[in-house]
Amino acid sequence: MTPETAAAYSLLNAQAVRDRAHRMLALGLDDKLPSFRVDLDRLDDAADLVMTAINKSYPTLAVPFHSRWRHFAPYGMDRHEVLLEYFNDPIARARSEFDLAIISVLLDAGAGPQWRYREPIIGHESARSEGLALASINMFMWGAFSAHRGSGDDFAPQFRADADRLANLDTKTLREGFQVTDQNPLSGLHGRAELLRSLGRLVAQRPEIFACHDSPRPGGFFDYLVAKAEGNTIPAPLILSELLLQFGPIWPSRLTLGGVPLGDCWRHPSLTMADATSGLVPLHKLSQWLAYSLIEPLQWAGIAVTDINGLTGLAEYRNGGLFIDTGVLALRDPADAARQHDVASTLVVEWRALTVALLDRVADVLRHRLHMDAASLPLAKVLEGGTWSAGRSIAREKRADGSPPLKVISDGTVF
């Protein structure tokens, strides 16, 4: 392994995300960042909003983990219960749950302000992440990603995703499933479709990872992870590391180092290091969102997941918007709020890294106020309780359309 390759692998883990995010925050506190000023005196204002959100939604503090599964149960209808009805074998069900979580999370980048999804059963309209979740689970339940179709009352064979089906997914299928029209545009539709096709190709090429006990499917990753469990236990950061290692090639061609694709990793001129990773900022938002979303299927299958706090907060626009809208972060150039920014821009990379570090700070404030520790109030619950809801709430107060405070150009594969 070359030094550059070793350096690249050092960025494919949660600790690297956390370490570099806090380095960015330290630069901000020294007023040495090009795009933002940081005012920690306003952090209590952000924490107040998060406390309000938690008390409103979870007054007993019984907060679930932040994961895709929360979005599958709108209006009191838990779509996950359908899987419970059709699978007697918990291992077969876990593979199906992995299929669903992986597909749904990869389709979960920002939808844009105009897109809506009308639920076919009850006609309710949803937008953004909840709408994307419902569209993806409905497509999954209808067998859109399966090479096997159920017959009669046996729907279990279609509750899956298969490599060949994904690799040949027509963008039209996704457009129809997500109800996309000229009047109902979805940001990054083509990028999302290509991401699923890339996933299908990868899964087909790696049977040793994705076909240990079945034909190639994303859900085969369940068996791969279980084989790495020790004493029926697996640490959450290992889930992320394996996701980054095994799924890395699916992401659009971005930065590579030593021949290793770095995924959701970007350049920032202020973050200098002494090795080949100088200037690189790993964030891995969708991969961490997926890691959080795989915890519960593992637990439901009897696998204990430890060190959940080893994962970081998610560098996305609701969490990041919370800190801009409460004044913790202030643009050096206020005109940047009206401009569109590429996801690779220094400003966006800086914003996202600061968001990860500030989420840790908010979590510490909440634990102090509630007399709880990291074990009883892990970051996964702070996010769910939480920062994401508070970011959405203040966005609605500040802007009529509830949009984030910055305009980021999205290809449907980042956040």
> pLDDT, tens digit, for every residue of 72-109?
877 667 777 777 777 888 999 999 999 999 999 999 88
Residue 117 and residue 134 in contact, taking contact as beta carbons nearer than 8 Å: yes
CA separation for the pair 67, 206 (Å, rounded): 27
Which pLDDT value is given to residue 149?
67
Residue 199 and residue 247 in contact, taking contact as beta carbons nearer than 8 Å: yes
* Any domain includes 18: yes
Which pLDDT value is given to residue 75?
67
Average confidence (pLDDT) over 295-319? 96
Angle value at C-alpha 57, between 287 and 122, nearest 5 degrees = 80
Give start and end residues of each alpha helix (H) in 219-339. 221-228, 236-247, 285-300, 317-325
Judged against a pLDDT cut of 50, whether residue 152 lies above it is answered with no
State phi, psi for 304 to the nearest 5 degrees: -80, 135
Could you read off the pLDDT of 164-208 as tens digits, one per residue?
999 999 999 999 999 999 999 998 899 899 999 999 999 999 999
* Any domain includes 32: yes
* Any domain includes 223: yes
Write the DSSP assignment of 321-369 as a string of letters. Answer: HHHHHTTSEEESSGGGGTSEEETTSHHHHHHHHHHHHHHHHHHHHHHHH
Domain that holds residue 353: 3-409
**For the chain, what is the radius of gyration of the CA atoms?**
21
Write the CA distances from 384 to 10, 53, 126, 237, integer angstroms.
Answer: 28, 10, 19, 19
Which pLDDT value is given to residue 148?
80
* Any domain includes 31: yes
Structural domain count of the chain: 1
Which pLDDT value is given to residue 296?
95
* Any domain includes 289: yes
Write the DSSP assignment of 70-89 as a string of letters. Answer: GGG-GGG--THHHHHHH-SS
Indicate the pLDDT class of residue 134, thresholds 50, 70 and 90.
very high
* Any domain includes 67: yes
Beta bridge partners of 280: 267
- Single-letter code of the amino acid located at 350: E
* Any domain includes 278: yes
* Any domain includes 414: no
